[in-house]
Chains A and B, each alone.
Chain A
Amino acid sequence: DARVTQTPRHKVTEMGQEVTMRCQPILGHNTVFWYRQTMMQGLELLAYFRNRAPLDDSGMPKDRFSAEMPDATLATLKIQPSEPRDSAVYFCASGLGHWNTEAFFGQGTRLTVV
C-alpha cells in the first residue's frame, strides 16, 4: 500500500530551536509538495519540487525556512530558528505532476513551538 510517510508525527519544541521535518514520497512520484495547515490560514503551499529540483518556494518564509530533497526518497523541511507562529500541521504530498494524478498527502507533522 503506497503512501507518503512523514516523521515525526508530533513535535514540541522551544522557540529558537531548529526543527527538521522529513517526508518519504511515494516511490516513482517525481513531484513533492510541502503544505502548512492552520486554523486561520487553512492549507497553504510552502514549496514544491519536481525531479528533486525546487520549482517554487514563494510561499515559504525565506529567512527561517528551507526545503531540500537530498535524494528521490527524502524531502526535508527545516525551520531555524523556530517561532511560536510556526505552530501548525505540516503536510507533505507527492504526485506525478500532470493531469489526473492527484497529490497524495501524508499524515502530517503537528508542530508546536512554545
Chain B
Amino acid sequence: GESVGLHLPTLSVQEGDNSIINCAYSNSASDYFIWYKQESGKGPQFIIDIRSNMDKRQGQRVTVLLNKTVKHLSLQIAATQPGDSAVYFCAETSGGGADGLTFGKGTHLIIQP
C-alpha cells in the first residue's frame, strides 16, 4: 500500500552544524505534510507544516522543502543544538489537514558536542 518512508534511520551532526532530514512519500494525493519531533518518553510535537501548493516554508531555525515531482520532503534544521536530539517523523495526509496522518518510520537525529 502507499506509505511514507525515510531514507536514513540515524543522522549524527556536530552541534552548530546544519542538518537535513529526508522523507519520501508515495501517495500522490497527499496535500498536507507535517514534520514532528519526538523526544524520549513524550508524544510527537509539531515542528512545521507545508501544503502541497507550496515548495518551501520557513520557521524558526527550520525549513521544510517539498518536491512534488519526486515526492520528496525534507526538514532542514539550522545551527543544531543539543535540544534538537530526537526522532523526527514526516507525516502526510490527503484530507486537507482534516484526516488522520500517515507517518514515516522516523529518523533519529543525534547532536554531537
Q: Which residues of A contact B83 (CB under 8 A)?
A: none
Question: Whose C-beta in chain B lies nearest to the C-beta of A6?
Answer: B43
B25 at the interface (CB under 8 A from A): no
Q: Which residues of B contact A93 (CB under 8 A)?
A: 43-44
The proximity string for B residues 33-62 relative to A, scoring 1 for CB distances below 8 Å and 0 otherwise, is 010100001111110010100000000000
Q: Which residues of A contact B42 (CB under 8 A)?
A: 107-108
Q: Could you count the A-B residue pairs with CB atoms below 8 Å apart for me: how many are there?
A: 58
Write 24 A-B pairs (CB below 8 A) sorted by A numbering. A33-B101, A35-B103, A42-B89, A42-B105, A42-B106, A43-B91, A45-B100, A45-B101, A45-B102, A48-B99, A48-B100, A55-B99, A56-B99, A59-B100, A97-B97, A98-B97, A100-B49, A100-B97, A102-B34, A102-B49, A105-B43, A105-B45, A107-B41, A108-B42
Residues on A lying within 8 angstroms of B by beta carbon are 4, 31, 33, 35, 42-45, 48, 50, 55-56, 59, 91, 93, 97-108
Closest A-B pairs by Cβ, 4 of them: A105-B43, A45-B100, A43-B103, A102-B46
